[in-house]
Structure 1
């Protein structure tokens, strides 16, 4: 019965608190957006410079110990020039390529490969590395021709792929179809270096107007970076064109 109702001692928020909180919240959001925008600009530049600097130093560390001291400028000027090993490597590679195209160079290459073919383990390693090098450093005429659309993994779902070549050899002969087949590479996202090799009828392939580089950006970015719409034909028009072609073939 002695209880009394005392007023609460909690301080009431003043009229100025909400505007202050809103001000600091807006300031923090603006600073965060500016920081992210700066990171988007700085990160690619910084990583590119760091990668070039690191690779250059690694090549220098491998190549320069093989170069005689009389050819090193640091013996004369006393300054270690970073990237000098890269220059020596490029000159050496050009010299080897020039010799490999000549008759004497081809003779020594075939002679060395015959020796390697007699070594079981080394032969497998050498042939595998040679095939990888020939694939990676192939000439431009063996690169992907165009970007395209194929229905994958089922009808009604379309995926971006790259046209490689017209299907040839035993694969083309064994496929039970009379029409021309095309070899296409279907890349994965976000790593376009892995994917699937598909043999698709030419009538089922929709060629895109975008370049191979633009299609690769589209795949790597998971569709976030799309090519300029003014340079690309409208996709629905291409789909309707493909449907009309399919009905005509039927």
Structure 2
């Protein structure tokens, strides 16, 4: 029926845009809420004459996002020199000496350094592996290679991989597989993620 076909086609056009806008607005709302909380904390320290300005700042939607971006840029610029790196080392030393906090801080720092470091290999290679059983294939991403005590118990060359779930790739499974059992794919990480999220309905275009 043409009407049903047109409705589905229209939905496919507008749905990605609607979800994208919704996610952006959701993130903006969270950052604005955090910024509003910070302003509320400063209200007790500021004179009464400054309160109208605080209310005006709180009413500006998206200001929290702008301030976060500026803070990240400023932090990145500061830690790019010798003095900035010294301050970061002092910051790390402070948090690594606090019980309980040091376990969380060190774990998050190691993961973030691995994922976002320009020298790392995490999530830079899309793989094809057999999972959850032999003969059943799925997309995975190389996150590195086993090291430390784990490596001592493994015979041969292994790779660490992350297997995302569908359609939500933020959850998944961590596996260590023999390198001989994985197939490197000639596709970008973005293409592989799109393939996973779409449950295989949006296949990457062949490069040849």
TM over 0.5: yes
* Paired position in structure 1 for 2:191: 214
Query: How many Å separate the matches in 2 of 1:63 and 1:187?
Result: 33
- Contact persistence 2:123–2:142 (CA under 8 A): yes
- Selected match of 1:143 from 122, 146, 154: 122
- Contact persistence 1:149–1:206 (CA under 8 A): yes
Deviations 1:184-222 (A, max 9, x none): 322222232333333333333222222222222222222
Query: How many Å separate the matches in 2 of 1:158 and 1:124?
Result: 36
Residues 1:36 and 2:15 are matched in the alignment:
no
- Selected match of 1:155 from 127, 130, 134: 134
Query: How many Å separate the matches in 1 of 2:119 and 2:8?
Result: 38
- Selected match of 2:90 from 111, 118, 135: 111
Deviation at 1:128, TM superposition (A): 4.2
TM-score of the two chains, using structure 2 as the length reference: 0.72
* Structure exhibiting the larger radius of gyration computed from Cα positions: 1
Query: How many Å separate the matches in 2 of 1:47 and 1:195?
Result: 22
Deviation at 1:129, TM superposition (A): 4.1
- Contact persistence 1:144–1:212 (CA under 8 A): yes
RMSD value over aligned CA atoms? 3.4
Residues 1:201 and 2:178 are matched in the alignment:
yes
Deviation at 1:223, TM superposition (A): 1.8
User: Number of residues paired by the alignment?
Assistant: 195
TM-score of the two chains, using structure 1 as the length reference: 0.62
Query: How many Å separate the matches in 1 of 2:172 and 2:33?
Result: 35
- Contact persistence 1:162–1:184 (CA under 8 A): yes
Query: How many Å separate the matches in 2 of 1:136 and 1:186?
Result: 15
Classify 1:157/1:122 alpha carbon distance in 2 versus 1 (closer, same or farther; 3 Å). Answer: closer
Deviations 1:80-130 (A, max 9, x none): 653333223222222222222333333333334433344323334433443
Instruction: In structure 1, list runs of 5 or more residues that go unmatched.
Output: 1-28, 233-250
Query: How many Å separate the matches in 1 of 2:17 and 2:88?
Result: 41
Classify 1:30/1:167 alpha carbon distance in 2 versus 1 (closer, same or farther; 3 Å). Answer: same
Residues 1:171 and 2:147 are matched in the alignment:
no
Query: How many Å separate the matches in 2 of 1:32 and 1:212?
Result: 35
Query: How many Å separate the matches in 1 of 2:103 and 2:152?
Result: 30
Residues 1:52 and 2:24 are matched in the alignment:
yes
206-215 vs 150-159, greater mean Cα deviation: 150-159
- 1:1-250 equivalence runs, <5 A: 29-63=1-35, 65=39, 81-135=60-114, 137-139=116-118, 141-177=120-156, 180-228=157-205, 230-231=206-207
Higher relative contact order (CA 8 A, sep 6+): 2
